[in-house]
Amino acid sequence: MTTNTAAVRTLATSRVETLKAAFVALVLGLGLVYGAGFANSEGVHDAAHDSRHALSFPCH
């Protein structure tokens, strides 16, 4: 029985790409949690408020 090396390479590449994406998501998630934890609450409120106005969502 022969092994299809192209399929093995594709599977390995797919796994590597999945791990890269998971690592990037983890770093971004931790950055958001860290940033939100130490952010000035008034500054966060103002940023959210301005974002809602920029996206034309009513907020009042």
Please report whether residue 59 resides in a domain: yes
Owning domain of residue 31: 23-60
Predicted TM-score of the model (pTM): 0.51
Instruction: Report the pLDDT averaged over residues 13-29.
Output: 93
Number of domains in the chain: 1
Q: Which residue has the higher pLDDT, 37 or 24?
A: 24
Q: Is pLDDT of 22 > 90? A: yes
Please report whether residue 14 resides in a domain: no
Residue 2 sits at φ, ψ, to 5 deg, of -100, 150
Instruction: Report the pLDDT averaged over residues 44-60.
Output: 79
Q: Give the pLDDT band (50/70/90) at residue 24.
A: very high
What pLDDT, on the 0 to 100 scale, is given for residue 21? Answer: 95
Instruction: Check: CB of residue 48 under 8 Å from CB of residue 42.
Output: no
- Token representation of residue 17: 């790409």
Give which of 19, 21, 18, 15 is closest to 7, Cα–Cα: 15
